[in-house]
């Protein structure tokens, strides 16, 4: 074990690249080893300019579902903590083909958690989602919390649930020091524009149609990515081994309200809204009760929805080169296939 070295898998993706940036800017640890396969969602641009300029950051390209690569990673980079952010993360893609979700999210997690144990990693942190709890009805006060049984509905959520169970089983069976965090929907800079908020911002900026699934009244509980990253760090430092922590910012929004606000912030009107075919098995509502993490860890969100969404729109407006770069290749074909280029 090397104190101060953190391995961050999926570090070239949306959330973990924000995590790595904050970790380096604020000195959360001495060294960060990013391990990332660079799938369509993983972009070295997300780590610029740190990747060229900061000697505390080491990038290793590799697959968490490749046992030999994971062994080599932990042999050559003894680490104090492993943060597993790597995943296939988009529900729509999991509906079209669940196989990569099972491979990366389930098998990859099992290989990584087992190798972390063998290599004496002090603590393993599994970054998971509130979607493992299933869906809530639209009307009602009920929210997801740590005691609620898992009931995943999409192949993505099922694969993340399987991963969480394997991590918690490693604690129960082997006494491994693990933490699981289950966070609600994130938004912010560097999010790949297949997810609701960056897709709508990109389309609005380009004067393209905004595809609203079904009636647009599905509810998500949005948190700014920096708040999520700070919560993961806080749980890693102050959490109890074998515990799970639900993370959210008390910010439930129907999709159509999010879209209308993006239209206002981009100076577009509602003629861009286009209702399209619903997602099969679409989860109606997610909502998180994060009182455990407030009470036991002392973490609270700091970024308001109003400021967070406005600064996110501004970030996408300024970073058109990033948008162009990440939407080349696979994404272009995917987008044409699913949205007919609208
Ligand atoms: P993302 O799709 O933007 O990034 C995933 C990253 O993982 C990419 O860099 C990709 O290259 C990498 N990756 C994929 N397969 C890999 C493999 N086999 N080996 C190594 N690297 C691989 O995802 P995100 O939105 O940043 O989500 C990060 C994590 O947070 C995921 O585990 C996700 O389930 C979880 N999460 C996401 C949200 C959200 O709203 N986006 C909310 C809660 C939890
Ligand atoms: P998404 O960002 O894919 O996150 P998740 O499904 O994991 O919550 O979608 C957020 C919500 O937005 C969800 O209810 C589906 C909806 N949605 C649309 O209406 N249109 C779109 O083009 C996309 C990508 C999502």
Residue 332 covered by a domain: no
* Ligand 2 mean position, distance from CA 195 (Å): 6
pLDDT band at 331 (very low <50, low <70, confident <90, very high): low
pLDDT band at 1 (very low <50, low <70, confident <90, very high): very low
Q: State the Cα–Cα distance between residues 158 and 83, nearest whole angstrom.
A: 20
Residue 204 covered by a domain: no
The pLDDT, as a whole number, for residue 33 is 98
22-64 tens-digit pLDDT: 999 999 999 999 999 999 999 999 999 899 999 999 999 999 9
Higher pLDDT residue, 132 or 2?
132
Structural domain of 229: 5-192+222-253+287-305
What percent of the chain shows pLDDT beyond 70?
A: 95
Tokens in use for 105? Answer: 């999210």
Q: Whose CA is nearest to atom 17 of ligand 1?
A: 63
Residue 342 covered by a domain: no
65-85 tens-digit pLDDT: 999 999 999 999 999 999 999
Active site residue 130: yes
The pLDDT, as a whole number, for residue 342 is 41
Tokens in use for 194? Answer: 């297949």
The CATH number for 178's domain is 3.40.50.720
> Does residue 258 have its Cβ closer than 6 Å to ligand 2?
no
Report which bound ligand comes closest to the CA of 195: 2
Over range 239-257, report the average pLDDT. 98
Residue 17 covered by a domain: yes
Cis peptide before 49 (omega within 30 of 0): yes
Residue 329 covered by a domain: no
Look at the chain and report how many structural domains it folds into.
1
84-129 tens-digit pLDDT: 999 999 999 999 999 999 999 999 999 999 999 999 999 999 999 9
Q: Which of 183, 213, 256 to mutate to test the pocket of ligand 2 (most atoms within 8 A of CB)?
A: 213
The pLDDT, as a whole number, for residue 328 is 86
Question: 339 φ, ψ to 5°?
Answer: -120, 5
Residue 326 covered by a domain: no
Q: Which of 255, 284, 312, 341 to mutate to test the pocket of ligand 2 (most atoms within 8 A of CB)?
A: 255
- Residue 340 predicted with pLDDT over 60: no
> Does residue 244 have its Cβ closer than 6 Å to ligand 2?
no
Residues 6+ apart with CB under 8 A from 74: 7, 115, 116, 118, 119, 121
154-168 tens-digit pLDDT: 999 999 999 999 999
The pLDDT, as a whole number, for residue 245 is 99
Residue 215 covered by a domain: no
Decide if 184 contacts 315 (C-beta within 8 A).
no
- Residue 2 predicted with pLDDT over 60: no
Q: Whose CA is nearest to atom 20 of ligand 2?
A: 212
Residue 35 covered by a domain: yes
């Amino acid at each position: 074990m090397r104190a101060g070295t953190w391995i961050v898998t999926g570090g070239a993706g949306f959330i973990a690249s924000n995590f790595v940036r904050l970790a380096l800017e604020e000195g959360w640890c001495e060294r960060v080893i990013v391990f990332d396969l660079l799938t369509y969602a993983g972009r070295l641009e997300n780590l610029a300019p740190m990747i060229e300029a900061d000697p505390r950051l080491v990038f290793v390209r590799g697959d968490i579902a490749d046992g030999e690569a994971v062994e080599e990673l932990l042999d050559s980079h003894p680490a104090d903590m492993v943060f597993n952010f790597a995943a296939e993360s988009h529900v729509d893609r999991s509906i079209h083909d669940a196989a990569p979700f099972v491979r990366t999210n389930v098998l990859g997690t099992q290989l990584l958690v087992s190798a972390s144990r063998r290599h004496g990693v002090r603590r393993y942190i599994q970054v998971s989602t509130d979607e493992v709890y299933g869906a809530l009805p639209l009307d009602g006060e009920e929210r997801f919390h740590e005691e609620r049984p898992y009931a995943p509905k999409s192949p993505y959520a099922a694969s993340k649930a399987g991963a969480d169970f394997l991590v918690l089983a490693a604690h129960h069976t082997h006494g491994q020091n693990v933490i699981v965090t289950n966070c609600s929907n994130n938004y912010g800079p560097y999010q790949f524009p297949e997810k609701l908020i960056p897709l709508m911002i990109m389309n609005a900026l380009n004067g393209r149609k905004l595809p609203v699934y079904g009636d647009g009244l599905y509810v998500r509980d949005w948190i700014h990515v920096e708040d999520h990253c700070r919560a993961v760090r806080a749980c890693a430092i102050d959490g109890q081994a074998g515990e799970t922590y639900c993370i959210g910012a008390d910010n439930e929004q129907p999709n159509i309200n999010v879209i209308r606000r993006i239209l206002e912030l981009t100076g577009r009107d509602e003629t861009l809204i286009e209702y399209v075919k619903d997602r099969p098995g679409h989860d109606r509502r997610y909502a998180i009760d994060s009182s455990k993490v407030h009470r036991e860890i002392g973490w609270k969100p700091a970024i308001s929805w109003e400021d967070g969404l406005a600064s996110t729109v501004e970030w996408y407006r300024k970073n058109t080169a990033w948008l162009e770069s990440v939407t080349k290749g696979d994404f272009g074909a995917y987008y044409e296939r699913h949205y007919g280029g609208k």
